[in-house]
Structures are given as C-alpha cells and as structure tokens.
Structure 1
C-alpha cells in the first residue's frame, strides 16, 4: 500500500500545498532524468506476495497483528485487511540458479510462518481472492490498525460522495455480484504478486510498453480468482474488483470519461516521465501529506531527493505496470512494478509466472520493430480484459497472428521468446526448463488456478455440497496442495 502517513483527514490548505509540492517534485524529477545518473549497472528483481489468513473453518481470520507478532520476521508486513499479510522478498539478480535458491528459501519462509500462524489459530493461504470471504465479514472490524488505510478509505469516499457499487457478472453463466459498500473493504479481498525490475531511464519506456503488451497473456496464464461472495465470476475477478473497490468516480464522472484510479493507461510512452506527468495531471491527491524536504535544494547540493509527495501520489494511482522511483544507499533508481498477477497457487507457480514475465519482456523490449508499434494501445487493453474474464480459454489479437487463442500464442510465440529472454539474462538452463516447463504444461492441460478451483467446486456440488460447503472443502484441498508445492496443472479434481 506504499509509504505511511500520519493523519487521517486533511485541510484545504494541506491539499493546496501538496499540489504545489507534487508539481515541484515533478520538475525536479525531469531535471534528474537529464542531469543525474541512476543505479542500473546490476539490474535487480524484487518480489512481494500478499497472503490471506484463515481460521480452522477456512473463513477469514481477522488477526494479522497477532500473526505478525508470532512470526516476528520483518519480511512479513501488515496489509489493508486484518486477514491479510504481505511477504517482501529482498531484491536479487536474475542470472544463474538464483530462482532455484529463491524457491527453496520462500518455501522455508512460508513453512516457518505457517507454523507460527498456527500457534495463534490461523493458517496462511496464497490465493487471488479468498473464496470463502462474504459481505458479512466486512461488517465487523476488518481494517488493519494503520493510519494510511483509514486515510485512504476516508479520502476515496469523500471524493465519491456516495457508496461504492460492485457489479461483476460472469461471462459464462448467469452468476453475478451486485452490492454496495460503504468502505474500501472489498479491496482487501484482492491479494496479488508484485514483480519488480530495475531499469535504466533510457530503457524504461521500452520495458513498460513491453510489459503492457504482456498483461493479457500474463493474467490468462496466472488467473486464480474465480470466486467472490460465493459467486463464480471472472477467471481473474480480482482485477475488476480492485478497479471498482477503489473507484473515486461517481456515475456522472464515469460518463464524462474521467479516468479511474486503477488505470490501464491510454497510450504507449516514450519516457518514464510521461507516467508521472499523467499522474499529476489527471489524478487528485488522496493522501496530501507534505514533508519538510526541499527537493530543489537537495538536488542542487548533489544529493538524491526523496520526493515523498510524488512517490506518495504515485502510490495511489494503481497502474497494472507502475513506475517506481526509489533511493537505496543514497543512489536513485527506477523500476517497473508489475502488479497484475494474483497470489498463488504455489511458490513454484509464482516463480513460473515470474520467469515467463521477465523472459518475454526482455525480448519484447529489445526488438528492432517492437510489437507495440504494430498494435494499438486499445487492443492491448482489450486483450487484458478478455483474458481476465475468461482466463486460458480467451482469444487475443497479436500482430502476425491475428485473432489467436492465448494458449496457442504462448506455446508458439511467447514461450520460446521467454526462453530466449532468460538466456539473455544469463539464467541457467535448469531454471528455464523447470519454470517455463510449468507454463508449457499449463497451456497443454488448460489448467491454471482458476480452472482448478471452478472444476473442483463443480465436482463437489455434483456430490450434493452446497456452494459454501464446496468452497470451504475446495479451499482446504487448495491449502494442502499449496504447501505441497506441486504446480497447479498437476492437481487432480475430486472424482477424476
């Protein structure tokens, strides 16, 4: 959720001063892109995994404070809902066998965290949307004790002036969720994996554009959020839920074409500056807290300004590929933060999704005639929406192939590209074979997390279970197999 804030409500004077400071930071950032060097000689990747907490009945466990105290590991942090925590993985290089070492350390970390969570009556589940979460779970004390979350909730509803409307319909059945919410609680149901890649200023635009073209195939391959409030909706319902649960626009503003905070974007870019400038131009402040830093003075003195206001504002515009400016050990750097993937189903699945992304993006960003010069931005967005709605059965448009099933596009074109890209990164053959082999098998079996969840619930309902009982039983099976760390395409369905 980004940097912390101290206050919950803000005055008009604060908002005016914040706008001025953000614009000042933007001017300083523009200077830095032309005058300063950024750290990128040894590109690093980063990983964040959002997790759910459940009780013995696999219902949400509103107890992240107790769980975090029991885990006592700074890698695990609070998240918006009391049934959420987040695991932050230290940055690391891609080459060699780094991913295999990461898989082992992640499984060890999650096993240790699960044991500590058990001590306080909770279990950890890595999944895009907790399928047993229901509207009544948000009628209690659901929000984590953090001023930022309370401030964000108040600001979103102050901007809207009315309750949030959630309206998501299945593309394949009559199932639908239509509900009003008087808090941003439904956003807490969205748990994701965030992939970071450090890049140079001159390479940022190519990497961001490439990442945008990949959003559709990524979400089709990794879909793992088919249920919300007991209904089967999109293959990756999380993306639409996140958009609606943080929407500051009234119906009238939507009709005027005002941009949502969950922003796909609207054009290919030529510089990272384009994205920060759009943020400042289009989006009012949600958390207008002003720092004491004078970024101009810091830059003039040869330092790297923190630019807290620009960073905080950027943290409240929820792009699926977000630009990041950060400072480590006094040196500024830039990152592409990919935010489209759901959590889970297993560590090996998460790392397979990561390998596909980093590999394919490397080749796409280095092509002489990049794919985005042959594809409209609107087409990339349409691909994304269709893949979120339908998952692996989706079809997309891709230059040179026309309209093509996404599974075929991955197997014929993007998967070989991912192998080549990882090779360029210096990733070992063993790593490429292990993780990209998982992606290949997903396409050939047609089974990702969303498909397994839906098939399992249907099989259990066919045995006479109610929908809620089927969801609980499915989640129990899911949890057991998640900790077993066999990729989801190998999971059987009851009765198969």
Structure 2
C-alpha cells in the first residue's frame, strides 16, 4: 500500500527542505553501506498480493472498507481503488519449505477473507486486470478513502498539468483520458520480496532486470481492459501511463518516467537511490524531525524516512527497498512486475522461478548482464508484455528464441540449481517449477486461458460485457479450486 500520509497542501519551502533532506539521507546511506552490518544469515522472502473485489455477477464491488471490516485481519489493507484489497504475507526463510509455507498462508488468507467478504457481496479475485471494469469505474469516486491516495493523485495530475491519456494498441485499440490516477487501481500485482546483502545487491538487481521479460512471458494474466483485448500483460502499458507525470513536451525532451525499467546495469544499491534523487522531483515532500546523520553519529540506525517515501513514489519494476527491523538495517529487492493470480500455486510457481533464476545468475561465473545490452533486457520486457508466452526473446549465447523454448531448454535448469543452492526442499522446487514447465509445454497461462475462453463464448461478438462477466465468474470458480491454470478447462 505504501506509507500513509495525511491530507495536506505542500509549499515551495516544503519541496526545498525535502530535497535537502533526501540528500542528507543519501549521505547517511553511503556511510551505512561501508560501515554498518547488513548481513543476512538466512535470507528471507516475502510476498504481497493485490486482489480485485467482485460481486456475484463478476462486476467490480466498490466495497473494500466494508470487506476489510468483515475480514478483520491486519494482514489485509486497502489499496488505491475501492474495488481493491492487498494482503502482505509475513516473510520466511527461503530454505527448506519456505515457499510451501507462504503458499499455505496465502491460501488460508484468501479463503478466510473470501468467506468473510461475501457477507457484503464482495468476493476476492486474483487477476492482473479485472475484465469487467468499465469507464464508469475510472473516476475519483472509486479511489479509496485513505488520504494518501487522493493526495498522490492530486500531486501527479498537478505535476503533469493536464489529464492523463491512456492509449494502448493490441488486438483492439484503447484510447481514453482520466483526471485521476484511478486506472492504476486496475493493475493488480503480485510483489515478490528478496532480502539481499549490500555486496550482492547490484548483481541480484541486474539479474532481476535480465529475467523480467521471461517472468512476464510465462506469467502474463491481463489481456482485457475496458472491454478490449489488448496486450497479454496489459498492466505494464496501463501502469506506465496511469502514473506518468510528464506532458508530451517533457516526453520529447527525454525526461524519465516515474514508472521506469531503468537505463543501465548497476554496481551498487546506492546507484538506484542516487538516481531517484537526481532524476525525480518530490511528489509527497513530507519532512520528518529525525536527522539521519546525527542518528548515525549517536550510534543509532536511522529510518531514512524521506528517502523511503521518495522511493515509494518512483515505480521501478524492480524496486530497491531499505528498511529497519529489530534495530538492524536491511535491503531487499521488490519485484513488482507480475500480475496477481491466477491461483495461489501459480503465484508461488512464479516466485520459485524468480528466486531460483536470480540466485543462479548471481552465482554464475560470467554474469549474464556482462553479455547482454541493457536495452535488450528492456526490449524483452515490453515484447513479453505484448505477446506473452509466445514471445521471441533474446538471450546471451542463445540468440532470439521463443520464450517457451528458452525456459524449457535453458532457464528451468538454472532455476532448479538456484533453488537447490538456496537449500529449498527438492519436492517443493519440483512441484512449483513443474508448473512453469507445464505452462511452457501447453502454451497456457492466465492470459491465453482468458483469451481462449472469450473467443469460445457465444456472445463474444454481440455482447462483450456479458461474455466478460461469464469469463470472470468462470475464472473465479477455477481460482477457488487452487489448481494451476495450465490444467483449467473451458466451457463449451
């Protein structure tokens, strides 16, 4: 959800003070990276999942506050849209049965919350974009009550100076405008957290960037938006545009977008925080009393509140995170590019694939990023978002190859090796990576299942909304079984 901020107006002085404070946080972080203990005896992983809320017909249910009251679980929080919820699963060690423990906890949370929310005619759905969203849901009235969301929307629109335009060309074409950031709420994701030591952070982030296109290809789950069939992972284009603070003139000038893949391989986590400070003006310039340099001099660990808040308004697909737990600082990568769903086990299969691949690439004798132009990683990423599991991707020493072949022949063995080196129990690794293997063998992930279900629907050509409602209800029925998407049948 991000850090809470009270409703307020910001002055020019606020922004000047905030910029200076972020730079002071950077000075403190630089000192900490060379002097403080960020060591990780047993690296931890975590997962956040954003849900859509739907009614019995499959339409959006704008009742997240009522649903939260019924769920009564502090692991669940609001998200940007009234039709969204988020759950944060507590972190665990990756070794042993860690991934299985997360799957069990997430499944229990989902089923509990779904039962409780039904009392207010709201049901949880793990999906990248809800197919039944309509233009009427893209208004300020659909933003959650938390002041942070309204303030962030106001600041993004003020920085942009004009309404936000959404234009996406896919099988169909979408062109619409909005005067809020509510389209961002349509982008419901699975966010994977990986704790990393400073000495390994650069390599782990580079590896995460290198595999981003592969992740999207096998995990795509967002083919429909506002009644149109667009990209296999439409979330990517939608999120990039829905929070864009740049006018057309600034885009032409080469100003960097706040939803950002990046532009280079890095050597240190400091590179990313420094880029955030240099390239992006503040959206929420809230200044705290704590002086991070004085805290360090006094032998205490600073919160770096301004640095963290600023970082939270720059939407890297692999975001660096600084935090303090039990009085000790730590770093992690927040992998933000995957859609939610289709099921809990599918989400954990995506997680196992990511964690295993990153570990193996970090340990490789010759880093993949030393053999691959950064631009090629970004091109893979956007190509996979467009065409999903059938995308042709570029990989060092392999060339251009279909994503399914790349995964089956080259990357799944690496992922297995990475999980083994992380001491993940073999049966857990085999079960989860076996799901990725079957997706590639069958050519079926969430996006291809939905596209085929829509194509088969008898009203697809005459009443799209009715067909998409039926598709959503059928999708939810399969989601609740917990069976992976490659096994899902189609009606008719």
TM over 0.5: yes
Q: 1:406 to 1:268 in 2, by over 3 A?
A: same
Secondary structure of 2:306's counterpart equals: helix
CA distance in 1, matches of 2:134, 2:27: 46
In structure 2, what is the equivalent of residue 472 of structure 1?
A: 469
Q: 1:99 to 1:394 in 2, by over 3 A?
A: same
Contact 1:206 1:366 in 2 (8 A): no
In structure 1, what is the equivalent of residue 453 of structure 2?
A: 456
Deviations 1:287-318 (A, max 9, x none): 00000101111101111100100000000110
Secondary structure of 1:442's counterpart equals: helix
Q: Is residue 323 from structure 1 mapped to residue 334 from structure 2 by the alignment? A: no
CA distance in 2, matches of 1:106, 1:186: 26
Q: Is residue 274 from structure 1 mapped to residue 257 from structure 2 by the alignment? A: no
* Total equivalences in the alignment: 492
Contact 2:43 2:196 in 1 (8 A): yes
Secondary structure of 2:285's counterpart equals: coil
Matches within 5 A, 1:85-484: 85-139=85-139, 141-170=141-170, 173=171, 175-461=172-458, 466-484=463-481
Contact 1:8 1:150 in 2 (8 A): no
Secondary structure of 1:204's counterpart equals: helix
Contact 2:75 2:89 in 1 (8 A): yes
Secondary structure of 1:365's counterpart equals: helix
Q: Is residue 64 from structure 1 mapped to residue 64 from structure 2 by the alignment? A: yes
Secondary structure of 1:396's counterpart equals: strand
CA distance in 1, matches of 2:395, 2:236: 22
In structure 1, what is the equivalent of residue 18 of structure 2?
A: 18
Displacement, 1:493?
Answer: 1.8
CA distance in 2, matches of 1:96, 1:140: 46
CA distance in 1, matches of 2:460, 2:422: 49
CA distance in 2, matches of 1:337, 1:39: 18
Deviations 1:387-409 (A, max 9, x none): 00000010011011111001100
Q: Is residue 82 from structure 1 mapped to residue 82 from structure 2 by the alignment? A: yes
Secondary structure of 1:474's counterpart equals: helix
Deviations 1:431-490 (A, max 9, x none): 011100000000000000000001000100467662111100010000011010000000
Point out 4+ residue stretches in structure 1 off by more than 4 angstroms. Answer: 462-465
Q: 1:255 to 1:119 in 2, by over 3 A?
A: same
Deviations 1:311-344 (A, max 9, x none): 0000011000000000001100000110010000
Contact 1:39 1:200 in 2 (8 A): yes
Q: 1:42 to 1:492 in 2, by over 3 A?
A: same
Secondary structure of 1:492's counterpart equals: coil
Displacement, 1:101?
Answer: 2.8
CA distance in 1, matches of 2:21, 2:426: 49
Displacement, 1:14?
Answer: 0.6
Q: 1:453 to 1:74 in 2, by over 3 A?
A: same
Deviations 1:62-109 (A, max 9, x none): 110010010000000110001100000001011112222322222122
Displacement, 1:39?
Answer: 4.0
CA distance in 2, matches of 1:281, 1:195: 27
Contact 2:127 2:221 in 1 (8 A): yes
Secondary structure of 1:391's counterpart equals: helix
Contact 1:53 1:123 in 2 (8 A): yes
Output the TM-score relative to the length of structure 1.
0.98
Structure 2: where are the runs of 5+ without partners?
none
CA distance in 2, matches of 1:4, 1:307: 15
Aligned-pair RMSD on alpha carbons?
Answer: 1.0
Contact 1:25 1:309 in 2 (8 A): yes
CA distance in 2, matches of 1:464, 1:384: 31
Structure 1: where are the runs of 5+ without partners?
none
Contact 1:63 1:82 in 2 (8 A): yes
CA distance in 1, matches of 2:88, 2:460: 40
Secondary structure of 1:334's counterpart equals: strand
